[in-house]
Amino acid sequence: MNVTIIGGGSWATALIKILSEKNIKIKWWLRDLEAINHIKKHHHNPQYLSSVELHPSKIKPYHNLKEALKNTDWVILAIPAAFIESAISEVNPELFVGKKIVSGVKGIVPSCNMLVTDWFSKKYNVAKDQIAAIAGPCHAEEIALEKQSYLTIASEGILTAKEFAALLSCRFVKTAYINDIDGVEYAAVMKNIVAMACGITHGLGAGDNFQAVMVSNAMLEIERFVNKISPSEREINSSAYLGDLLVTAYSQFSRNRTFGNMIGRGYSVKTAQMELNMIAEGYYATKSIHEINKNLEVKMPILEFVYGVLYKNQSLLKAFEVLKEQLV
Ligand SMILES: NC(=O)C1=CN([C@@H]2O[C@H](COP(=O)(O)OP(=O)(O)OC[C@H]3O[C@@H](n4cnc5c(N)ncnc54)[C@H](OP(=O)(O)O)[C@@H]3O)[C@@H](O)[C@H]2O)C=CC1
Ligand SMILES: O=C(CO)COP(=O)(O)O
């Protein structure tokens, strides 16, 4: 069994750690040649989750994406959605034929406002039942520490979901599988936006009382949006949806929350991005979901709060006042 992982950040490194528990070969594409050389020599990713040991007998880093995609069974996408198009643009669609694709991305492709798996399926002509998404509350940093975690694999092809769930389950990760791929992807995109709202309001001085109310309202907002854009029967309070919102809204490890907190404390978007030094997907997703919702017209006060602050240069305090009025 060969697995190719595309992306060199925290989540790619965490997924490699999980998969290294299995008897499989991992081909790992990173864009950063220096990181590749470091990994070959020292068996650690220099910039992300650098404590994780990368076993050379199982993991082979590649700088040539086409080579990394040859003779592989599963391809895992682990690059922020905003950069995924440019990262894999050189790949001939034929290289994906007969392979199963898994998205670990929790974002929207900004040029077309599509879910990563929908965009991939359309662009590379891969049937949606051959594509899965990784959902659930799981921070890469806790995988590095082998803390017990739970992931849900979603695919319209339930066999695809089941197979990948089996591949990803290990000593410290328990997996489940479902078929609601669009639902979990939209919910994951939305929870990043909510986590930014938690950070912004925390930065403005709001406490735990306010955050609890906002997260409860957020779950209803996510449910309204997901049910409108992708109507289906779903257990929205299960860990793949609600759990992911909770961990991102409350965890010290959340990049989206940290980014929002800096904005709430008066940083500009550029400074916050530089300071974070990792990607907060919610920043890009806020614009995409705002645009998608122009047609859907779902009531989304938390999304509009974040959009106003990040994209319309609204006064933080005024926007916060409006938000406070809208929550119940
Ligand atoms: N971290 C986590 O706990 C989890 C993350 N995710 C999702 O995984 C996805 C990846 O995030 P994550 O790994 O955490 O992000 P990080 O910020 O840790 O890493 C970002 C990665 O993207 C690469 N990158 C940035 N810009 C480009 C570009 N223009 N072209 C190619 N590659 C680029 C970076 O490369 P370089 O280092 O060379 O700049 C780096 O490898 C996101 O959608 C995130 O929401 C999902 C679940 C958990
Ligand atoms: O998706 C995540 C946890 O489930 C990661 O969230 P952050 O990108 O905010 O760190």
Q: How far apart are alpha carbons 292 and 222 in whole angstroms?
A: 14
The whole-angstrom separation of Cα 287 and Cα 290 is: 5
| The one catalytic residue among 191, 294, 312, 318 | 191
**Pair 303, 221: CB distance under 8 Å:** yes
265 is in an annotated binding site: no
| CA 204 – ligand 1 centroid, Å | 28
Centroid of ligand 2 to alpha carbon of 30 (angstroms)? 20
What's the CA gap between 255 and 242, in Å, rounded? Answer: 18
- Concerning whether 299 is annotated as a catalytic residue, the answer is no
Q: Which atom of ligand 1 is nearest to the CA of 86?
A: 30
Going from N- to C-terminal start, the domains of the chain cover 2-179, 184-326
Q: Which atom of ligand 2 is nearest to the CA of 278?
A: 8
Q: pLDDT per position in the chain (328 positions), as tens?
A: 999 999 999 999 999 999 999 999 999 999 999 999 999 999 999 999 999 999 999 999 999 999 999 999 999 999 999 999 999 988 999 999 999 999 999 999 999 999 999 999 999 999 999 999 999 999 999 999 999 999 999 999 999 999 999 999 999 999 999 999 999 999 999 999 999 999 999 999 999 999 999 999 999 999 999 999 999 999 999 999 999 999 999 999 999 999 999 999 999 999 999 999 999 999 999 999 999 999 999 999 999 999 999 999 999 999 999 999 999 9
Topology of the domain covering 2-179: Rossmann fold (3.40.50)
What distance in angstroms lies between residue 76's CA and the mean position of ligand 1's atoms? 13
Q: Is 136 left (phi over 0), alpha (psi -120 to 50) or beta?
A: left
DSSP secondary structure string for all residues of 84-123: HHHHHTTS-GGGGTT-EEEE---SEETTTTEEHHHHHHHH
Mutate to test the pocket of ligand 2, among 18, 49, 248, 259 (most ligand atoms within 8 A of CB): 248
179 known member of a binding site: no
Cβ(243) to ligand 1 under 6 A?
no
Tell me 6's DSSP state: E
Q: How far apart are CA 89 and CA 305, in angstroms?
A: 34
Q: CA-to-CA distance for 192 and 108, rounded, in angstroms?
A: 11
- Under CATH, which number does the domain 184-326 receive? 1.10.1040.10
Among residues 152, 168, 137, the alpha carbon closest in space to that of 253 is found at: 137
Maximal CA-CA distance, the chain: 57
Rounded to whole angstroms, the Cα distance separating 291 from 301 reads: 14
